[in-house]
Every structure is written in C-alpha cells, then in structure tokens.
Amino acid sequence: TRRIIIDTDPGIDDAAAIAAALFDERLDIRLFTTVAGNVSVDKVTKNLLKLLAFWDKTIPVAIGSDRPLLREAINASDVHGNSGMDGYDFPESKYELLTKNHAVIEMYKVLMDSKVKTTIVGIGPLTNIALLLRLYPECAEKIEELVIMGGALGRGNQGVLSEFNIAADPEAAKIVFESKISLTMVGLDVGEKALILPKEREQIQKMNKTGDMIDHLFRKYRGGSLDTGLKMYDGCAIAYLLAPEMFDVKQAYVAVETQGMLTAGATLVDLDGYLGKEDNCRVCVDLDEQRFRQWFLEAIEKCD
C-alpha cells in the first residue's frame, strides 16, 4: 500500500475523488487536510467531515489555511454550490475527527513519524503544502511524491490561462513547483477529458449508496454539464496514483506566473526548453478517456 495525505477543499469533484481513494486498499490515507479553495475553509472542512460520517470512516482531519498566502480567496460557489458541496442531505459532520493542531503541523507529524515515505495528493490550492515546505524544509526527504491537481498546458478555467487551484494561490504554487521534490502535475488538460457522461452517471446512481449520493451532488455540479459530461478534475489525481498507465506523461520545467497583470496563476509548461531550466515536473499531457471512465465506475463500485 501507498501512504498518502490528501489535501482538499470539497468541492463536488473532491468528494468523488475521495470516494475513489477511500475504498481502494492500495492507498493508506493517514490524514486529510483542508484548505480554503472552492469555498471557505470552515465550509470545506464541514463537508469533508460529513463525507466521513456518511462512510463511517475515522481518518483524522486537520484544518488548514483559511486564505491564500498573499491574496484574497476566490470563491467557486458558482461551480460547487453555496455550501461547496450542495445537493445531498448528509448525516451530521463527524467533528470528533478534527485534530488539535493546524494541518501543516499534522502533515509534518505524519511525514516524520514513519520510516516509509508519504505521498501528498493536493486537490485544492497549494497554500498548506507551500507552508509545510517553508516551515519544515527537512520533511522534503520524507515526501515520496507530490501529486497535484492543478495547472494547465493551455487555456484556463479561472482565467484565460489559469486553472483554479493555481490561480487561487499562485505564490504557494510557485513554492511547490520550485521545491525540487518529485512532483506530478495532473492539470486541466486531462481533467477536461475525464468526463462522466449521462450513461455512466445512470450506472453510478444505481450502484450503491455512494453512487446515489454522488449522483445527487452531480446534479448541482457546474464543472461541465449533465448532458455533455461532468469533469472529474480531482478524480484524475487519484486515477494517476492507481492507474498511471492511462495517462501520457512528459517531463518538463513548469514555471508559475505570479507577476502577470492578466496571467497570474498560469503554468508555463516548457515542453520545448525555451526557458533553459532543468525539468521540475512530470506533466500529464493526455488521458485515455475511455479507460478513465471504466476506472471511475469500478472505483465507485468498490464503495459502500
């Protein structure tokens, strides 16, 4: 099994990604950390605690950053609803899972407490992960890999050229991309292809209680559309962990734009070496859509 920490801002596609990760026995989730992203950190934490109550899971949850490093938070309730996870009547949040310490401290403890390295999966803005690397640089050697849903090879979904998780906190993203830690960018280009089409949605709804819950959330989700397909951005990061062969991956230097008046939060994926810098990232450049859909269906089928 692979030891992981999931840093998240649920978020409807976060919820679907968490479902896929929680019930796969190859992943040993040691900790969830939350970050202000799709909506406030209080709301996303409450959502995560509801999900864990729904599945009756007892993995610790640590509350993280309530705002980006330097900027005001962006609100994505147009995509995920007012609560950040609208559309289903959940059981009460499991507040007893909350840790005493801040997410960054809990991450540090999970990393340092084990001889085995841990992978951090970031499916929200990178504020917590950047703070971890700045506060505790010694933990770099305990990180097996950072798998990040964020960034884009081309056009964005938050700005013309910027993807939401990077645009939300470009300075944090810059720290992470320049950290020299083994890093994989699972960006928008593959997220846009990871579509759940009406046929699969129907199948998912009938599968089990998780499928029914996810179908309810999907009806409120504005990442894509019910007819043309729902975009499982964050699910791609989990798919990459479990079935990397469905992705085309290239090594590249990725620069994060923090200065641009119109382009802050853009990721410049330098596939042709214009910037003359050493590669710092594995970049997912393409996805086998068919295999992704099959993988997603099988992942939800495992949930109870």
Interface contacts to ligand BDR, rule CB under 6 A: 11, 13-14, 38, 76, 79, 123-124, 149, 157, 163-165, 233-234
Q: How many Å apart are CA 205 and CA 211, to the nearest integer?
A: 5
229 binds, among Ca ion, ligand BDR, none (CB under 5 to 8 A by kind): none
Q: Applying CB under 5 A, which of residues 4, 5, 14, 223 lies at the interface with Ca ion?
A: 14
Residue 126 Cβ, how far from ligand BDR at the closest point, in Å? 11
Local structure of 34: helix, strand or coil: strand
CA dihedral 187→267→249→24, nearest 10 degrees, is: -30
CB of 11 to ligand BDR, least distance (A): 4
Residue 223 or 229: the one with the smaller Cβ distance to Ca ion is 223
Other residues' Cβ atoms within 10 Å of the Cβ of residue 138: 10
183 interacts with, out of ligand BDR, Ca ion, none, CB within 5 to 8 A per kind? none
Nearer to Ca ion, 37 or 229 (CB): 37
In the list Ca ion, ligand BDR, none, the entry touching 221 (Cβ below 5 to 8 angstroms by class) is none
3-state secondary structure of 286: strand
List the Cα angle 2/137/113 in 5-degree steps: 45
* Strand-by-strand arrangement of the 61-63 sheet: 61-63, 27-34, 2-8, 118-122, 143-149, 183-186, 281-287, 247-256, 267-270
Give the one entry of Ca ion, ligand BDR, none that residue 81 binds, where binding means its C-beta sits below a cut-off of 5 to 8 angstroms depending on kind.
none
Q: Is 122 in the site for Ca ion (CB under 5 A)?
A: no
Backbone φ/ψ region at 290: left (φ over 0), alpha (ψ -120 to 50), beta: alpha
Match 């989700």 to its residue by tokens: 221
Contact status: 123 vs Ca ion (CB under 5 A): yes
Q: Per rule CB under 5 A, is residue 11 in the interface with Ca ion?
A: yes
* Shortest reach from residue 181's CB to ligand BDR, in Å: 20
Closest contact distance (angstroms) between CB of 223 and ligand BDR is 6
Q: Please list, in sequence order, all residues whose beta carbon lies within 8 angstroms of the beta carbon of residue 298, skipping any fewer than 6 positions away.
A: none
Output 38 or 280, the one with its CB closest to ligand BDR. 38
52-77 b/e (C-beta count within 10 Å ≥ 16 → b) = bbbbeeebbbbbbbebbbebebbbbe
**Residue 124 contacts Ca ion per CB under 5 A:** yes
Tell which residue, 136, 149, 148, has the closest CA to residue 107: 136
Count of CA atoms in the C-beta half-sphere (13 A) of 300? 27
Q: Which are the contacts of 266, defined by CB distance < 8 A and separation ≥ 6?
A: 152, 156, 159, 161, 162, 166, 256, 257, 260
Nearest distance in Å: CB 283, Ca ion: 19
CB of 113 to Ca ion, least distance (A): 26
Q: Please report how close the Cβ of residue 85 comes to ligand BDR at its closest, in angstroms.
A: 10
CA 46, CA 36: separation in Å to the nearest integer?
Answer: 12
Q: How far is the CB of 277 from Ca ion (least distance, A)?
A: 28
Q: Which does residue 163 bind out of ligand BDR, Ca ion, none, counting CB within 5 to 8 angstroms by kind?
A: ligand BDR
Query: Cβ closer to ligand BDR: 124 or 159?
Result: 124
**Which option in Ca ion, ligand BDR, none does residue 79 bind, with CB closer than 5 to 8 A by kind?**
ligand BDR
By CB under 5 A, which span of 76-84, 120-128, 193-201, 222-230 interacts with Ca ion? 120-128
| CB closer to ligand BDR out of 78 and 141 | 78
